[in-house]
Structure 1
Amino acid sequence: MTTSRVLTWNVTASGGYETAWTEAGEGVLRARGRAVGTVPEPYWVSYDLDTAGGFVTRRLRVTVETAERTRSLDLRHDGHGGWTADGEPLPGFRDAVDCDLGLCPLTNTMPVLRHGLLRGPGERRLLTAWVSVPALTVRPSWQTYTALGPGERGARVRFASGTFRSDLTFDDAGFVVTYPGLATRLV
């Protein structure tokens, strides 16, 4: 069964807001989102995300508009370890199955749901295709998700990448409620 939801976050890390229109069910997530930020400069972002079964990224299309220019990125995963950015092969991403759009709490949903981290203990270290915002550069990023158990507002999962760590709270559907240092959900 597919459920549709509209989610809005106050994204403190960018000095802005994000809204995502989502459809999720049977291991698949589709979303389109819009965000506005003011850090490091004023910008607008729009994105479309599609996953295949098991919440594995299939495609992320992103457009960022600043006062100076408009940038677009078409990031694709073939389901067999191959990634491309605007049609060009991306080396170094063979083990990645997730994209991670910078400053976007939505893209934390896929690995958490795929690995069942809302239901019980566990830790997963994984490689992602991390997309910076507003520059839209793509680089490999090793990330660790550790289930911490229930909290006051939902299941807690620690996110770590490099020296950065934050204990995120997820609702029952697997969407971020609070991401200390990044965002808090409004709706």
Structure 2
Amino acid sequence: MADSRVFTWEVTESSGYETSWIEVGRGSLRARGRAVGTVPEPYWITYELETCEDFVTRQLRVSAETAFGSRELDLRHDGAGRWTANGEPLPEVDGALDCDLGLCPLTNTMPALRHGLHLAPGEQPFLMAWVSVPDLTVRPSRQTYTHLGRTEGGAHIRYAAGDYRSDLEFDADGFVVDYPGMARRLSAWAGSATHGV
């Protein structure tokens, strides 16, 4: 049986909003989401995310709509460290375990859950397959997550990429509550799904 979550965030960086419908199983999750933003230009985003064991990304499918038309991305990880985008190899992100969809608080969850950084001290470096929004370009991104301390409802984790730093608040289940400068959660729902993930 999987646990279901529905979260809505105000995405302040894009002057928009995002809702994710998530199913979490033993070491894996599936999610679908919708986002609307007005910065850097008005856009709609639709995505589907699937991970395999240990919250390693298996596939991210994204559609983007802007005034200039629509774009599609099918980002896949073969489980052996190799990535493709719409069938084309992405050797610059080979070895990454996670996707990171721009302006999407959900994709901070997988590395936090894999290493239990929302539960206990630790610091982990990551190579991410980072997806720019709304153009859906995939680039390598080296990031570090550092557990800063527990809170009454979860933990603070520092996110760092290059010169950028932000101290994120996660809930006890490893999902972002507040991402200063980027997004803050407006609502949360939790329940159970009868099928597995």
TM-score (norm 1): 0.98
Contact kept in structure 2, 1:153 and 1:169, CA below 8 Å: no
What does residue 72 of structure 1 align with? 72
Deviation digits for residues 1-26 of structure 1, max 9, x if unmatched? 41001100000000000000000020
Deviation digits for residues 104-147 of structure 1, max 9, x if unmatched? 00000000000110121100001000000001000000000000
Question: What are the within-5 Å matches in structure 2 for residues 1-187 of structure 1?
Answer: 1-187=1-187
Q: CA RMSD in A?
A: 0.8
TM-score (norm 2): 0.93
1:152 positional shift: 4.9
Counterparts of 2:5 and 2:153, CA distance in 1: 18
One-letter amino acid matched to 2:99: C
Gap regions ≥5 residues in structure 1: none
Counterparts of 2:119 and 2:56, CA distance in 1: 19
Counterparts of 2:92 and 2:68, CA distance in 1: 31
Contact kept in structure 2, 1:18 and 1:33, CA below 8 Å: yes
Deviation digits for residues 43-102 of structure 1, max 9, x if unmatched? 000000000000000000000001111001000000101100000000122220000000
Between 1 and 2, higher relative CO (CA 8 Å, sep ≥ 6) is seen in 2
User: SS of the counterpart of 1:13?
Assistant: helix
Gap regions ≥5 residues in structure 2: 188-197
User: SS of the counterpart of 1:96?
Assistant: coil
Instruction: State percent identity of aligned pairs.
Output: 68
